[in-house]
């Protein structure tokens, strides 16, 4: 420690006062904070937890993903690629809330008020009653929320806000973090629910600092392809509900329409052609039937192509390796294309068998199921040893397939025998059940 007579901050002499600091290190005494009283921990059983009534948005699929509606004072982060329908679904939600008597506010940092009106006109007359504010200044937005005290606020988008005290450009890490912290403080203090619309990167993840996802109460991901009409909404994080629920929408000229029975939409055109099977998947607590198609063609390249849409490419590589090693389906010199119809993405391991049977059908040039009159339904996870692993909710998967006349359903053996299920313990048995030859189908 060196002697200092002149203060480096103000430039005055003899203004510094020497003080002694208590050393704190590993195993040493804790530093005492003068003037700060210690807190009193309370047992959780003594804490009173009030049941908060949620705000219903009037959109059943959105309310189900949220866990029953919007919780007052919560922060919801909605992410999705440009043009996917984020502004549409938030506009519809605010219109329904405003019609139900809840005060709402739509803050647009990307469009003017006139542009917001033109987009709201196609959502119905209720959407025109929503109050709008075209502003990017964080101070002005906070002052407006403080004065108006709406029940629900939409910030579209969080990357456009900026605080005057910070030097960074809008969308920078510092600006986004400061805006999110200030909005979170206002939401909790004023009991105002806020929906923050966020951008996504080229990889599909939410843009901005990771602290943004940790700060909010709920993170919603809006997926789909702009060229297709179907959209899926899923919760990545939800402090007030489950993260397994998925909502399905269809984009139309008048906005987003809920798809109450997505299985009927996804399998209505499935015909049981070569390279086509139906996967009985689980999206949250709801079984959904989706069509999986595959195309196998001799490759003209030294390294055959593996093109996928709707599943993970690395997952396809593993499935092809299991088929080659344990199913006798060699595809080392062929291009393989796999597509999940409708723009749906399959992330659960129960879709392995559907991909395997679709690829095997395309490679054999033979419809799965042997008849070709109706598609084959299946589900199950493939192990690297060639076995077919159990996945959850087998009874609900089979019941959903049987409702549409898909019987039997090929799947892994479970604890109880299910009517309409053809259990197969290995991938080779599943191939024999899907493509019966002169030896007949596998005994089930």
**Predicted local distance difference test score (pLDDT) of residue 355:** 96
The pLDDT score that the predictor gives to residue 128 is 93
CA dist list (Å): 80 to 85, 220, 240, 308:
8, 9, 21, 21
Q: Is the pLDDT of residue 372 over 70?
A: no
Region 225-237 average pLDDT:
80
Confidence (pLDDT) at 7: 77
Task: Give tens-digit pLDDT for 164-221.
Answer: 888 878 878 888 888 999 999 999 999 999 999 987 765 556 656 566 888 899 999 8
For 73, how many CA atoms within 13 A lie in the half-sphere containing its CB? 8
Full-model pTM: 0.75
Q: Are 217 and 167 in contact (CB under 8 A)?
A: no
Higher per-residue pLDDT: 283 or 293:
293
Could you give the CA distance from residue 145 to residue 106 in angstroms, rounded to a whole number? Answer: 11
Measured torsion, CA atoms of residues 149, 154, 159, 164, in degrees rounded to the nearest 10: -20
Higher pLDDT among residues 414 and 380, named by residue: 380
Q: Which two tokens stand for residue 386?
A: 């060639």
Cα radius of gyration (the chain): 28
Q: What domains are defined for the chain?
A: 60-260 (3.40.50.300), 264-434 (3.30.230.10)
Give the per-residue pLDDT at 438.
39
- 256 has which bridge partners? 251
Residue 1 has pLDDT above 80, yes or no: no
Confidence label for 2 from pLDDT (cuts 50, 70 and 90): low
Task: Calculate the average pLDDT of the chain.
Answer: 86
Instruction: Label residue 182 exposed, middle or buried (CB < 10 Å: 0-12, 13-18, 19+).
Output: middle
Q: Is the pLDDT of residue 411 over 80?
A: yes
Residue 224's pLDDT is what? 76
- pLDDT tens, residue by residue, 59-83: 999 999 999 999 999 999 998 888 8
- pLDDT reading at 231 higher than 70: yes
pLDDT at 23 over 60: no
Q: How confident is the model at residue 443 (pLDDT cuts 50, 70, 90)?
A: very low
Task: Choose the weakest-confidence range: 186-200, 243-257, 339-353.
Answer: 243-257
Could you give the C-alpha distances from 258 to 262, 296, 436, in angstroms and in order? 9, 35, 40
How far apart (Å, rounded) are the C-alpha atoms in residues 218 and 243? Answer: 9
Average pLDDT on 226-236 reads 80
- Average pLDDT of span 102-123: 92
Mean per-residue pLDDT, 229-234: 84
Query: Is the pLDDT score of 144 beyond 80?
Result: yes
What is the pLDDT averaged over residues 290-296? 95
Per the model's pLDDT, the better-predicted residue between 93 and 122 turns out to be 93
């Amino acid at each position: 420690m060196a002697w200092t007579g002149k203060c480096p901050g103000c430039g005055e002499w003899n203004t510094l006062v020497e003080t002694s600091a208590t050393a704190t290190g590993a195993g040493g005494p804790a530093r005492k904070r003068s003037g700060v009283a210690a807190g009193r921990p309370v047992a959780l059983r003594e804490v009173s937890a009030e049941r908060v009534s949620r705000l219903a948005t009037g959109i059943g699929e959105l309310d189900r993903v949220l866990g029953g509606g919007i919780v007052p004072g919560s922060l919801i982060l909605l992410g999705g690629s440009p043009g996917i329908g984020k502004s549409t679904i938030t506009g519809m939600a605010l219109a329904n809330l405003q019609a139900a008597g809840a005060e709402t506010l739509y803050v647009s940092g990307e469009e003017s008020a006139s542009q917001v009106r033109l987009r709201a006109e196609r959502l119905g007359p209720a959407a025109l009653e929503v109050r709008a504010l075209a502003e990017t200044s964080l101070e002005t937005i906070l002052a407006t929320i403080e004065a108006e005290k709406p029940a629900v606020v939409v910030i579209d988008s969080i990357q456009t806000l900026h605080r005057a005290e910070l030097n960074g450009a809008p969308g920078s890490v510092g600006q986004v973090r400061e805006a999110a912290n200030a909005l979170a403080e206002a939401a909790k203090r004023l009991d105002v629910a806020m929906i923050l619309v966020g951008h996504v990167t080229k990889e599909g993840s939410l843009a901005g600092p990771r602290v943004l996802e940790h700060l909010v109460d709920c993170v919603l991901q809006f997926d789909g392809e702009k060229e297709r009409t179907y959209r899926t909404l899923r919760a990545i994080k939800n402090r007030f509900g489950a993260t397994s629920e998925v909502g399905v929408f269809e984009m139309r000229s008048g906005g987003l329409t809920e798809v109450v029975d997505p299985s009927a939409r996804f399998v209505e055109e499935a015909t049981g052609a070569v390279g086509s099977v139906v996967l009985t998947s689980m999206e949250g607590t709801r079984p959904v039937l989706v069509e999986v198609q595959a195309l196998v063609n001799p490759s003209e390249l030294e390294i055959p192509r593996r093109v996928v849409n709707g599943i993970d490419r690395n997952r396809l590589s593993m499935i092809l390796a299991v088929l080659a090693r344990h199913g006798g389906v060699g595809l080392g010199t062929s291009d393989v294309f796999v597509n999940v119809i409708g723009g749906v993405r399959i992330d659960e391991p129960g879709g392995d068998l559907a991909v395997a049977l679709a690829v095997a059908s395309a490679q054999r040039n033979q419809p799965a199921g042997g008849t070709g009159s109706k598609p084959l339904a299946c589900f199950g996870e493939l192990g690297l040893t060639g076995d077919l692993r159990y996945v959850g909710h087998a009874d609900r998967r089979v019941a959903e397939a049987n409702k549409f006349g898909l019987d039997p359903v090929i799947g892994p053996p479970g604890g109880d025998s299910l009517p309409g299920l053809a259990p197969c313990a290995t991938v080779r048995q599943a191939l024999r059940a899907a493509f019966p030859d002169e030896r007949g189908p596998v005994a089930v």
